[in-house]
């Protein structure tokens, strides 16, 4: 009796596009080579702000996106973080000036938790007591501003440097500042740290996150090689695309790593 040959059905892969939110005119961010467009959901990618706006002055900023919706074979992304390129931070600081930095949690009007890392550059050497006062005023100002805005309204304020400008005007009353920047801004999932994402004390939540991160660093970990999701992409039919459309998409990390500098 002849054995029946088992054949495995392989679904044909194709390129599926990912587009930006309305803030960036729903421009094409990239494409992913997948057998099913539903697999786009949850993938993330990072692009330079200069490529998104066409403004060369914004090349020191990277914008992170995540695909949160898939419709008609197209992925729709939203902004999840904003970060300054490390090399640009070194150029900002000058001799005879002080760098005042901080890192803290804030909550938007629609209950989205975010981490912000402001960077203040003074015009001259500044006493530690004045630096501490500016840090306290920065937290107070930003948390109050975010509590009045939904997340989708906040992102344009940061990308357009309007929040930073308002903060600078407030802090200049304490001490003259050369520059006010946001080194980092990004969403935080408190449930990944065992906290309920309802009304929580932001400073206590901060302490718990730091404690968990320290514990995690002390635990022994096994090094694993992350799978390359675009490994098979080169075997796809040749296709003329711009550099923007060839942006590789990556799998969403299971938890957002706390950035501390």
Mean local confidence (pLDDT), 151-174: 97
Task: Give strand ranges (E) for the chain.
Answer: 14-19, 28-34, 43-48, 61-71, 74-84, 99-101, 104-107, 113-122, 177-187, 250-251
Other beta carbons within 10 Å of 117: 19
The pTM score is 0.79
> How far is residue 229's CA from residue 239's CA, in Å, rounded to a whole number?
19
pLDDT of residue 30: 96
Mean local confidence (pLDDT), 87-96: 84
> How far is residue 156's CA from residue 143's CA, in Å, rounded to a whole number?
17
- Average per-residue pLDDT in the chain? 84
- For residue 76, give the nearest of 85, 88, 65 by alpha carbon: 65
Q: How confident is the model at residue 8 (pLDDT cuts 50, 70, 90)?
A: low
| pLDDT tens figures, 45-71 | 999 999 999 999 999 999 999 999 999
Polymer length of the chain: 261
Could you give the 3-state DSSP secondary structure of residue 126?
coil
- Whether 259 shows a pLDDT value over 50: the answer reads no
**All structural domains of the chain:** 12-84 (no CATH), 90-214 (3.30.479.30)
| pLDDT tens figures, 193-246 | 888 877 688 988 888 888 887 776 666 544 333 333 343 333 344 444 344 444
């Amino acid at each position: 009796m002849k054995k029946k040959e088992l054949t495995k059905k392989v679904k044909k892969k194709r390129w599926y596009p990912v587009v930006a939110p309305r803030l960036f005119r729903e421009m094409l961010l990239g494409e992913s080579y997948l057998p099913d467009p539903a697999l786009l959901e949850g993938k993330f990618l990072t692009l330079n702000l200069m490529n998104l706006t066409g403004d060369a002055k914004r090349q020191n900023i990277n914008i992170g996106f995540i695909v949160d919706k898939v419709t008609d074979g197209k992925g729709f992304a939203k902004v999840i973080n904003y970060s300054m390129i490390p090399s640009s931070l070194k150029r900002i600081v000058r001799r005879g000036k002080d760098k005042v930095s901080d890192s803290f949690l804030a909550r938007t009007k629609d209950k989205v938790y975010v981490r912000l890392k402001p960077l203040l550059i003074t015009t001259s050497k500044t006493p530690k007591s004045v630096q501490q006062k500016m840090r306290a005023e920065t937290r107070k100002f930003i948390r109050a501003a975010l509590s009045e805005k939904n997340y989708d309204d906040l992102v344009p304020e940061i990308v357009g440097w309007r929040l930073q400008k308002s903060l600078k005007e407030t802090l200049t009353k304490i001490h003259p500042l050369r520059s006010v920047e946001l080194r980092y801004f990004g969403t935080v999932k408190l449930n990944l740290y065992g906290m309920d994402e309802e009304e929580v004390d932001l400073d206590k939540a901060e302490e718990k996150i730091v404690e968990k991160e320290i514990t995690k660093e002390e635990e022994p970990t096994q090094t694993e090689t992350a799978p390359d999701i675009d490994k098979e992409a080169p075997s796809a039919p040749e296709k003329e695309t711009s550099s923007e459309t060839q942006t590789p998409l990556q799998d969403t990390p299971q938890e957002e790593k706390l950035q501390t500098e």
